[in-house]
Amino acid sequence: MDRQTAKKKIDDLHKRLNQYNYEYHVLDKPSVPDTEYDQLLKELLKLEGDFPEWILPDSPTQRVGGQVLDMFNKVRHESPMLSLGNAFNESDLRDFDRKVRQAVGDRFSYVCELKIDGLAVSLKYENGIFIQGSTRGDGTVGEDITANLKTIRSIPLRLQEPISLEVRGEAFMPKHSFTRLNAMKEENGEEPFANPRNAAAGSLRQLDPKIAASRHLDIFLYTIANMGEMNLASHSEGLNWLDQLGFKTNKERKSCATIEDVITFIDGWVERRPHLPYEIDGIVIKVDSLDQQNELGTTAKSPRWAIAYKFPAEEVMTTLLDIELNVGRTGVITPTAVLSPVKVAGTTVARASLHNEDLIREKDIRIGDQVVIKKAGDIIPEVVNVLIDSRTGEEKEFNMPTHCPECESELVRIEGEVALRCINPKCPAQIREGLIHFVSRNAMNIDGLGEKVVSQLFAEKLIQDVAGLYKLTREQLLALERMGEKSVTNLLSAIESSKGNSLEKLLFGLGIRHVGAKAARTLAQEFEHIDRLVDATREELTSINEIGEKMADSVVTFFEQEEVCDLLQELKDVGVNLAYTGIKPVVSEQSDSLFFGKTIVLTGKLAQLSRNEAKEKIESLGGKVSGSVSKKTNLVIAGEDAGSKLKKAEELGISVWNEERLVEELSK
């Protein structure tokens, strides 16, 4: 067969197999037997083997899993993947509805969708071809899992139209796939997955895509992150458009005119939930109009135009066998209930936090009690109450100790707090927990340094403080159990890479009391280098918006410690970045920037700047970059081939600049 004939045959097989795949995995309406599909796929594999120059990214053969990866690359999301606020009862829903009405009036509607219990992912397409898929990560930076996502057959590798866009959805493991997978694990003597959500997340984070392919995952797309030039008016229109492009969306959605309609929809699914072929843990409620979504805006963490109603937690009874004590990184002593293992909301629970001594006294919890437990938000196990009538008289009261269970230092209760605390700065438990916090995702985000590895390094006395992480050698790591050449290489690479993190990551990782991730960013942006922050006075700190007296006192006290000064010097010596490298926000309301306080839309192709570069520069000058044109838009930047957004801006009389004008203003 000559090359051109082979090309024609391959194109025909592509078209037919992609259509059959769409009918089977998206429409759930197969038009040919599996044997015929398999025979055609085998024929395509043979042709591509003979003519490898005709293997295309959207070929059905690319779904079977490619080469094993060494590690996942990081992906920065162009627009953040925000999490949703939660509602747990009717009162929360009505409060959400009241806030929406206060902002946009009474003329609006909601769209209700099932909240799929899986892993949030983002998919990017260029000219209709799937080019990249990533995890949510921390909302700003995720991991590139393109190879694994290609194995999900309901994800189209080529769209029905040659357009560029980014969409987001929930990858999940159907109940039948979960049952089959756990049966295989048990046969092989392996630990089964606790629930389909964990199984889906674990499958998509396999370095070998063939493993992900064998797990038979699925996906529902639920939003368009970047809709390019599409002039859509509503979220529901967007979902219908995704259907037309060949994506799989969840059809169990409904438009609701009032909050009463929303509550009726939720009540119906509380009963029907167990009969679905996949797990859901709630209902997502969104304002339908995109203009009204834009008007409502977002907080730092979640959109104001959407909320997730979480189903009531399942409650079960079990026996409280013992109460253990854990020492946290700030020295707080937390009692933990050791339970007779029991299934709750799909997972086996054997432990639950009791928070503090006051809670134990308030609920009269005793060792040996029959207790009712649930998972708060379907995630965190907690003891709801004790079954007093079931007591036999053999139950034992529990008393908190007077000394730290790790270092034997005397415990104290600080005035105004309910927790007992170990205040020994050299307490081994606090040091270990501090190290675990330092390497965590929202702090220095060092891949491969999980809780077990950090605890192992600490137990072997290879690290005593965070600076020690940067002094680890290949020889030391190779001598540890379960540490091979590849894992050691990856770990050292991740540690080296973390040296370049911006200052806010380090500040949060240091575990300064009362300083969370948001406050760490605020301090890093304000002082720009840790040396300036070390010298800051309480007055300077409290003059910053969002920094109160308690936090200011904590920061000053932290940096006054001689041990902290020595640690910072060690971090400098090993090359850890101590400066803020992110965008410096505009702090003066009298900014003379033309972008300050303005809502700006970018459309069309930019030649001199990438879309992300333009967005960052505008935001650094106090502007807000939006994805859609509305009456609240102040300015539209139109590049080449600008489409519907430019047209809408002209209809609304909004100012329009070309790229040359944008670059000129940015350079001032």
Closest by Cα among 308, 381, 307 to 346: 381
Q: Are strands 74-76 and 119-126 parallel, antiparallel or unpaired?
A: unpaired
Catalytic annotation, pick one of 115, 124, 150, 615: 115
Q: How far is it, in rounded angstroms, from Cα 470 to Cα 172?
A: 37
Residue linked to tokens 């024929």: 43
The CA R_g of the chain, rounded to the nearest whole Å, is: 28
CA 58 to centroid of chain Cα atoms: 27
Quote the tokens at residue 375. 């998972």
In the three-class reduction of DSSP (H, G, I as helix; E, B as strand; rest coil), residue 658 is classed as strand
Quote the tokens at residue 97. 């509805």
Quote the tokens at residue 93. 């829903």
Residue linked to tokens 């200052």: 503
* CA atoms in the 13 A half-sphere facing the CB of 160: 10
* CA atoms in the 13 A half-sphere facing the CB of 597: 6
Q: 285, 112 in Cβ contact below 8 A?
A: yes
Q: Phi and psi of 34, rounded to 5°?
A: -60, -35
115 among known catalytic residues: yes
What residues contact residue 563 under an 8 Å CB cut-off, 6+ apart?
425
Q: How far is it, in rounded angstroms, from Cα 402 to Cα 412?
A: 8
H or E stretch covering 324: strand 315-327
H or E stretch covering 518: helix 517-527
Q: How far is it, in rounded angstroms, from Cα 209 to Cα 188?
A: 20
Quote the tokens at residue 613. 């570069």
Positions of E strands within 175-235? 218-226
| 189: exposed, middle or buried (Cβ count in 10 Å: 0-12, 13-18, 19+) | exposed
* CA atoms in the 13 A half-sphere facing the CB of 547: 26
Positions of E strands within 173-235? 218-226
Q: What is the DSSP string of 95-110?
A: HHHHHHHHHH-S---E
Q: How far is CA 538 from CA 504, 516, 530, 531, in A?
A: 19, 18, 15, 15
* CA atoms in the 13 A half-sphere facing the CB of 131: 12
In the three-class reduction of DSSP (H, G, I as helix; E, B as strand; rest coil), residue 217 is classed as coil
Residue linked to tokens 């690479």: 493
Quote the tokens at residue 268. 């119906």
What does the DSSP 8-state code read for residue 442? Answer: T
φ/ψ region of 150 (left if φ > 0, alpha if ψ in -120 to 50, else beta) reads alpha
Q: 214, 191 in Cβ contact below 8 A?
A: no
Quote the tokens at residue 344. 């709750």
Quote the tokens at residue 41. 């796929």
Q: 201, 243 in Cβ contact below 8 A?
A: no
Quote the tokens at residue 211. 């493993």
**Which neighbouring-strand residues pair with 336?**
324, 353
Q: How far is it, in rounded angstroms, from Cα 17 to Cα 59?
A: 9
What residues are labeled active site? 115
